[in-house]
Amino acid sequence: MTNTHATKVFDNSKGHEKFFKDDEIIVSKTDLKGRITYANRIFLDIADYSEREVLGQPHSIIRHPDMPRCIFKLLWDRISSGREIFAYVVNRTKFGDHYWVYAHVTPSFDVHGNILSYHSNRRVPDRQVVTEKIIPLYAKLLEAERSHKNGKEGLAASAKLLESVLADIGLAYDEFIATLGHERAHSTAA
């Protein structure tokens, strides 16, 4: 998979890329079904929504069609079983623009350990990681997904591909993400 193909998947015909500042954090909270219960000002500003427009809406309101479904499956499998996840995500604004984030999504628990809600903090992702690693990977996953007319089969195909990509490099998903983070720290220091 070349970057040329990947660039086509995330091309400008689907709007322009928006950016937020390195010291900003995009925050949202949801109920157990993923309906938005809180969004901070930075979330609203970059996504071009008012608070009123997002509260009570499913978080998929900002879903970008070029995000592979297997990443969201992994996200929900993780958080609904009480674990956290880090993921690179491209989101779509109200007007069809897009913005990349490095997201941490985690459950919030009550004193008995029951999951009460979910919470996500997102920071500016490392551009080089997005361009060189994530866009090509997601393009491959999307291609696998779209090669099936049936949504369930498409999801199974991209989930299997993700598994085999990770198996090829000998890393679990979390290790893979952590390795990318290490590269970021390395390149920043250089």
Ligand X SMILES: Cc1cc2nc3c(=O)[nH]c(=O)nc-3n(C[C@H](O)[C@H](O)[C@H](O)COP(=O)(O)O)c2cc1C
Binding footprint of ligand X on the chain (CB under 6 A):
28, 30, 34, 59-60, 62-63, 67, 69, 72, 75-76, 79, 89, 91, 105, 118-120
CB of 66 vs ligand X, minimal distance in Å: 11
State the nearest-atom distance from the C-beta of 104 to ligand X, in Å.
10
Dihedral pair phi/psi, residue 21, rounded to 5°? -85, 155
CA dihedral (39, 44, 47, 51) in degrees, to 10, reads 80
The residue among 44 and 67 lying less far from ligand X, judged by its C-beta, is 67
Name which of 36 and 161 has its Cβ closer to ligand X. Answer: 36
Site of tokens 């010291």: 23
Q: Are 79 and 85 in contact (CB under 8 A)?
A: yes
- The distance of closest approach from Cβ of residue 135 to ligand X in the complex, given in angstroms and rounded to an integer, is 16
Work out how close the CB of 58 gets to ligand X at its nearest, in angstroms, rounded to a whole number: 6
Per the structure block, which two tokens stand in for 29? 């909270």
Q: Give me the least distance between CB of 33 and ligand X, in Å please.
A: 9
| Tokens of residue 116, six digits | 């009460």
Give the shortest CB-2-to-ligand X separation in angstroms: 26
Among residues 119 and 140, whose Cβ is nearest to ligand X? 119
Closest CB to ligand X among 57 and 171?
57
Question: Judged by CB, which is closer to ligand X: 72, or 171?
Answer: 72
Considering beta carbons, is residue 143 or 171 the nearer one to ligand X?
Answer: 143
